[in-house]
Amino acid sequence: MTEATGGRRELRKAQTRAEIRSVAQRLFAERGFDGVTIADVAAAADVAVQTVFNHFPTKEDLFFDGRTPWVEGTAESVAQRAGGQDPTAALRAYLQADLTALLEQETRPENRSYLEALAQSPSLQARERSLVEQAWQLVAGELLAATTADGTPLSPVTTQFLSELTGALFMVAGRVLVLEHRRLVLAEPADEAEQAEVRRHTEATLGALEECLRTLAGRLADGAAEA
């Protein structure tokens, strides 16, 4: 196979994947997640059922594909931070911007079917929780690597603990904000003032978490010095 042939083949695969995803997400919006089968997606996209599975192992993968850049983005914000920037500050800045954009996006009428599908499907809720945990583990790993590389007065055990705790607290706080905002968006009647109030909580919540984690790290460092 020549390089040109291989390139065309990869392009066709990418186009097929994008078409399947587009068709599936349109059907989910029209019929609800549980009202659509993989066979329905295959028929609408004019491909074999196995072709769908070749690109997306589960229907949940189809639903979330392209919609969760934050899973890798949280870790990348730490790994690719500016020189000299504190890892936790980089994470907080990324999540603040990402959550602000996400909460605004989820207020738009064209995204209501997405929120309704999530609210009605336990399997989608379970998958989203697993994605949050995946993001937490990825960012914890990058925080550990960054802290170790920058030098730390803390023991490896304490550094590992703080990295895990930081990742968990930031991701769980973000999820709580998102879920509360979604509840208000889907409420009947919707209260836009309450939605805006939740959005305003984002900066204060993440800023307080960063401050508390710095305080904890300082106390642990002091305790290690006294031991």
Q: What is the CATH number of the domain that holds 14?
A: 1.10.10.60
User: Cα(213)–Cα(116) distance, rounded to whole angstroms?
Assistant: 35
Tell me, yes or no, whether 206 lies in a domain: yes
In contact, 225 and 153? CB cutoff 8 Å: yes
Q: What is the pLDDT of residue 5?
A: 64
Q: Coil, helix or strand for 2?
A: coil
Q: Based on the domain organization, do 98 and 202 belong to the same domain? A: yes
Q: How far apart are CA 118 and CA 124, in angstroms?
A: 6
Indicate whether 204 and 112 sit together in one domain.
Answer: yes
Instruction: Based on the fold, state whether residues 25 and 83 are members of the same structural domain.
Output: no
CB 159 within 8 A of CB 226: no
The closest alpha carbon to 87, from 160, 163, 173, belongs to 163
Indicate if 109 and 40 belong to the same structural domain: no
Domain count, the chain: 2
pLDDT for 84: 87
Tallying the residues shown for the chain, one arrives at: 227
Q: Are residues 88 and 32 in the same domain?
A: no
Q: Domain for residue 65, yes or no?
A: no
Q: Which two tokens stand for residue 181?
A: 């905002």
Q: Is 114 within the bounds of a domain?
A: yes
Q: Is 30 found in the same domain as 118? A: no
Cα–Cα distance for residue pair 138/77, rounded to 1 Å: 11
Residues 146 and 210 in one domain: yes
Same domain, 37 and 83: no
If one counts every other C-beta atom within 10 angstroms of the C-beta of residue 3, the result is 7
User: Tokens representing 64?
Assistant: 């979330």
Residue of 76, 171, 176 lying closest to 132 (CA atoms): 171
Q: Note down the domain range covering 203.
A: 70-226
Q: Are residues 77 and 179 in the same domain?
A: yes
Kindly tell me the burial class for residue 152, based on how many C-beta atoms sit within 10 Å of its own C-beta (0-12, 13-18, 19 or more). Answer: middle
Q: Are 213 and 88 in contact (CB under 8 A)?
A: yes
Would residue 66 be called left, alpha or beta, if left means φ above 0 and alpha means ψ between -120 and 50 degrees? left
- At residue 143, the 3 state secondary structure works out as helix
Helices 156-186 and 87-105: crossing angle, nearest 10°? Answer: 10
Instruction: Tell me whether residue 209 is in a domain.
Output: yes
Residues 52 and 103 occupy one common structural domain: no
Strand positions, DSSP E, the chain: none
- Low pLDDT (below 50) residues in the chain: none
pLDDT tens across 58-112, in order? 999 999 999 999 999 999 999 999 988 999 999 999 999 999 999 999 999 989 9
Closest CA to 22 of 79, 65, 51, 72: 65
pLDDT of residue 152: 75
